[in-house]
Chains A and B, each alone.
Chain A
Amino acid sequence: MRVVLAEDNALLRAGLVELLRHEDIDVVGEAGDVPHLLRLVDETRPDVAVLDVRMPPTHTVEGLDAARQIRATHGHAVGILVLSHHVETRYALDLLADGAHGVGYLLKDRVLGPGDLAEAIRRVAGGGSAIDPQVVELLLRRHRADSSLAALTEREREVLTLVAEGRSNRSVAAAMFVSEKTVETYTGRIFAKLGLTDTPESHRRVQAVLAWLQEQRDPSAPGGA
């Protein structure tokens, strides 16, 4: 697994490199700003580019712009994982606007949880997606009052959250301590209740779920089932 890392804070960058090495992820390039990152991506063709959303010069949303440029240049060949300080659905949805294939939006402090970052990188590298649980939680909060979401059992909602994070059935099964078969049964029921077509590819499922969540944002739209 080859990764290019962009983070302007040198100490944190060094820490991240060491963290990833422990997870058997090879950091082939380190950048402190966007132009350097783009050059490294062009040169090394990594599996995933891991980048901070805030970078010089303005320290606002340079990372999102850089992600768009990488996607434009390299298509789905290079996965993109954006690390952010903000729990903002807007940023995540902007990032996923062109599809959930090989994209991730993760809170920066996720690096503290054992294995979280590495798992997200692997998922993105595999063409899947990784959306921070806090962001997913916010997206689902919007639909508290929707009847179709209310029709889900607590267990089903738990599964939906994990699916929306971009996890595969196997990953969901591991997280919930159930068999993959059970997870498949859950997702089938959830997708039927939400009126969605199920698909085995996890990034397409995430896409469908996110599309549903976004579609429901307009308060005047019908509330589903």
Chain B
Amino acid sequence: MRAGRTWLWPALWTVATVTLGVFAETQQHVEQPERPVMLVADLVAGLVLVVAGLLARALRPGNRCWWLLMATGATWLVGSLHTSTDTDVALTGFVLGVWHFFVLSWLLLAYPTGRLPGRREQALLALVGLLCAARSLSRLLLYVPPDGTGCGCVRNRFVPVTDARWYDAVDAAFPWLLVVALLLVLACALARWRRSSRAGRRMVGPVLVTAAAVVAQVGYDYVVRRQVGVVGPGRTALFLVVVSLRAATAAAFVIGLRRQGAARSAVVDLVGGLEGPDSASPDRLAAALRRALGDPSLELVPWSAAEQSYVEPEGKRPVVPVAAPGRAVTVVEQDGAPVAALVHDETLLEDPGLVGAVVAAVRLTSDNERLRSELQHQLTAVAESRSRIVAAGDEERHRIERDLHDGAQQRLVTIALALRLADARLGSDSDPEVHDVLSQAVKDLGEAIDELRDLARGIHPAILTESGLSSALESLVDRSPVPADLDVRLATEPPTTVAATAYFAVSEAMTNVVKHAHATRVRVEVRAEGGELRVLVEDDGVGGAEPTRGSGLRGLADRVDAGGGTLQVTSPAAGGTRLDVRLPCA
């Protein structure tokens, strides 16, 4: 049954049901004085259910609850035919009226989405259907009317048996079975209420209460009163209770539907189910969608931008999602590009709001996942780029150092030597002033060469690349104005960039010790342990160093960070300073 977008079917159905109702109530015996009141009440109960159906359709056009409500009303009025004065009409009501419970059960089980959520509900509805069918058939084929026709009695023209015992057996068992089945339906609805979100409970609550009252009434009427034989309030009073309960049920459904759209509730459940890590994996998303939409056959087919095709969630092989009988395909798009396709029960399409919300949820999830993976990708790229920048910086410093040695320094030595030789060629009979000028020039050049050597060494010590970290640290410590103990334990030479970072860490720390610590002793410890290089520099100075101040330490922290390591400075006042650097060294 597809819900049309027009009001044609609801209108036709309403007219048909009202006609049926009026017809049913005018066909009755009216001997008893309370009869007219009961007839009006009966008609009102049926019509309230129909009106509730119309309201439900107006509230939730895509939700099938509306026609279930109208069908409940129609079957109610069909049952009223039972007491008609016309034998055939009465037989119709007598046989078909019982289906009111089937439709009512369906409505309860399918509420609030209008679809049966799972196999359990389907099985339960089938059971109720079976009971109703048995009752109908027994009344059609096995019923033997008592002698003397009177009010409420049906003369069965098809009757093929004359033995009333068969019918009596069914008649005795049916009320018990019906009550048990209705209790199960109620239990299902209760379970659903327990599973629901707060919003869902607000929808299901009123329906659950009135449904429980209806089941209690049926139990009392069918079992306690008729089977056990307890005599309670009068027939009329009881009947008015029955009618009021139907009206209350109808109202409860409308109120529930009004409170929250089924779509919103399902999407609330969906979004709730999408929290937590790894929620965007196609498997988890599909599972959440199945749960939220009550469609266990739903499939989520992700789109692969690389393959330019939909792909299987498992094997990643390209597939083309196709609609089959009863199955529909909904494509989720983002900025005009497909994100995924949903293959689902086509009844879902009856609720465009729901489908829209689900598509939005899938899009949000995949968007979220895409952003997360993009961010991850960018972070990785940035980390790699930082490492490359550090390595490139090292290489550049090394190159400058070599250029200074092989270029400028070499040339200065050559020039100084040429001046010396020139001075020598002039001999002892030269102008002593010229000799002094040349000697001074050679001396100045010598100092320039010394300065250049220190500068080059500060930029990048050649010994680090030529003899390794251990020798370079030894050389660094040798030059320290503050006496230093060096303890280097390395099985193998660390990678170039790691070695350079360790060297610059010690160098920076030693510079700070000399400048600020007023220390009498420094301890430098470098060791490889557990896949990392640990650098410790401790002094016995005044402490109170601020790691965030000073560009040297900050630059070092950046460098360590770029290599994926950690840097920690502990410097309590008057407690010395301790620099602890850990560098990953795979």
Chain A residue nearest in CB terms to B480: A141
Which of these binds chain B: A16-24, A32-40, A42-50, A180-188? Answer: A16-24
With contact pairs A109-B450, A145-B483 given, residues A89 and B475 touching in the complex (Cβ less than 8 Å)? yes
With contact pairs A9-B410, A85-B453, A86-B462 given, residues A16 and B417 touching in the complex (Cβ less than 8 Å)? yes
* A 71-87 to B, binary, CB cutoff 8 A, 1 in contact else 0: 00000000000000111
- Count of CB-CB pairs between chains A and B under 8 Å: 81
Chain A residue nearest in CB terms to B452: A85
* A141 CA / B479 CA spacing, docked (Å): 8
Within 8 A of A (CB), among B441-477: 442, 445-446, 449-450, 453, 457, 462-463, 465-467, 471, 474-475, 477
Q: Give the shortest distance, in Å, between A87 (CB) and chain B (any CB).
A: 7
With contact pairs A54-B405, A54-B406, A109-B450 given, residues A88 and B414 touching in the complex (Cβ less than 8 Å)? no
* B 345-356 to A, binary, CB cutoff 8 A, 1 in contact else 0: 000000000000
| Contact indicator A112/B405 (Cβ below 8 Å) | no
Within 8 A of A (CB), among B404-446: 405-406, 409-410, 413-414, 416-418, 420-421, 424, 442, 445-446
| Contact indicator A12/B478 (Cβ below 8 Å) | no
**Counting CB contacts under 8 A, is B402 at the interface?**
yes
Chain B residue nearest in CB terms to A61: B466
**Counting CB contacts under 8 A, is B485 at the interface?**
yes
Q: Give the shortest distance, in Å, between B460 (CB) and chain A (any CB).
A: 12
A141 contacts which chain B residues (CB < 8 A)?
478-479
| Contact indicator A112/B424 (Cβ below 8 Å) | no
Q: Give the shortest distance, in Å, between B521 (CB) and chain A (any CB).
A: 8
B414 CB contact (under 8 Å) in A9, A60, A114: A9
| Contact indicator B417/A111 (Cβ below 8 Å) | yes
B405 contacts which chain A residues (CB < 8 A)?
54, 85
**Counting CB contacts under 8 A, is A195 at the interface?**
no
**Counting CB contacts under 8 A, is A219 at the interface?**
yes
Q: Give the shortest distance, in Å, between A124 (CB) and chain B (any CB).
A: 20
| Contact indicator B421/A90 (Cβ below 8 Å) | no
| Contact indicator A109/B413 (Cβ below 8 Å) | yes
* A219 CA / B424 CA spacing, docked (Å): 48
| Contact indicator A59/B474 (Cβ below 8 Å) | no
| Contact indicator B487/A109 (Cβ below 8 Å) | no
B446 contacts which chain A residues (CB < 8 A)?
109, 112-113
Q: Give the shortest distance, in Å, between B536 (CB) and chain A (any CB).
A: 14
A85 contacts which chain B residues (CB < 8 A)?
405, 409-410, 453
Q: Give the shortest distance, in Å, between B443 (CB) and chain A (any CB).
A: 8
| Contact indicator A219/B479 (Cβ below 8 Å) | no
A189 contacts which chain B residues (CB < 8 A)?
none
A19 CB contact (under 8 Å) in B402, B420, B465, B483: B420
| Contact indicator B421/A19 (Cβ below 8 Å) | yes
A88 CB contact (under 8 Å) in B417, B420, B463: B463
**Counting CB contacts under 8 A, is A224 at the interface?**
no
A11 contacts which chain B residues (CB < 8 A)?
414
Within 8 A of A (CB), among B282-310: none
* A67 CA / B259 CA spacing, docked (Å): 95
Q: Give the shortest distance, in Å, between B424 (CB) and chain A (any CB).
A: 6
B475 contacts which chain A residues (CB < 8 A)?
88-90, 138
Q: Give the shortest distance, in Å, between B499 (CB) and chain A (any CB).
A: 15
Q: What does DSSP make chain B's interface, helix, strand, loop or mixed? A: helix
Interface size on A (CB < 8 Å)?
33
Chain A residue nearest in CB terms to B474: A90
Within 8 A of A (CB), among B44-103: none
**Counting CB contacts under 8 A, is A108 at the interface?**
yes
**Counting CB contacts under 8 A, is B240 at the interface?**
no
* A89 CA / B474 CA spacing, docked (Å): 9
With contact pairs A60-B462, A60-B465 given, residues A15 and B417 touching in the complex (Cβ less than 8 Å)? yes
A12 CB contact (under 8 Å) in B402, B417, B474: B417
**Counting CB contacts under 8 A, is A68 at the interface?**
no
* A90 CA / B488 CA spacing, docked (Å): 15
**Counting CB contacts under 8 A, is A142 at the interface?**
yes
**Counting CB contacts under 8 A, is A155 at the interface?**
no
| Contact indicator A18/B414 (Cβ below 8 Å) | no
B474 contacts which chain A residues (CB < 8 A)?
89-90, 217
| Contact indicator B414/A15 (Cβ below 8 Å) | yes
Chain A residue nearest in CB terms to B424: A22
With contact pairs A60-B466, A112-B446 given, residues A15 and B421 touching in the complex (Cβ less than 8 Å)? yes
Most chain B CB within a 10 A radius of its CB, from A112, A113, A145? A112
* A 121-138 to B, binary, CB cutoff 8 A, 1 in contact else 0: 000000000000000001
With contact pairs A60-B462, A87-B453 given, residues A109 and B486 touching in the complex (Cβ less than 8 Å)? no
| Contact indicator B471/A109 (Cβ below 8 Å) | no
A61 contacts which chain B residues (CB < 8 A)?
466-467
* A9 CA / B487 CA spacing, docked (Å): 39
| Contact indicator B418/A90 (Cβ below 8 Å) | no
B residues lining the A interface (CB < 8 Å):
402, 405-406, 409-410, 413-414, 416-418, 420-421, 424, 442, 445-446, 449-450, 453, 457, 462-463, 465-467, 471, 474-475, 477-479, 483, 485-487
Supplied contacts A90-B474, A112-B416, A141-B478, 14 more A-B pairs, CB within 8 Å: A9-B414, A18-B421, A19-B421, A54-B405, A54-B406, A59-B402, A61-B466, A85-B405, A88-B471, A108-B413, A109-B450, A114-B420, A138-B478, A219-B486
What are the 8 closest A-B residue pairs judged by CB atoms, nearest first? A219-B485, A15-B417, A90-B471, A12-B414, A145-B483, A109-B449, A138-B478, A60-B466
Q: List 23 contacting pairs A-B, 8 Å CB cutoff, sorted by A.
A: A9-B410, A12-B414, A12-B417, A15-B414, A15-B417, A15-B418, A60-B462, A60-B465, A60-B466, A61-B467, A89-B474, A90-B474, A109-B413, A109-B416, A111-B413, A112-B416, A112-B420, A112-B442, A112-B445, A113-B446, A141-B479, A145-B483, A219-B485
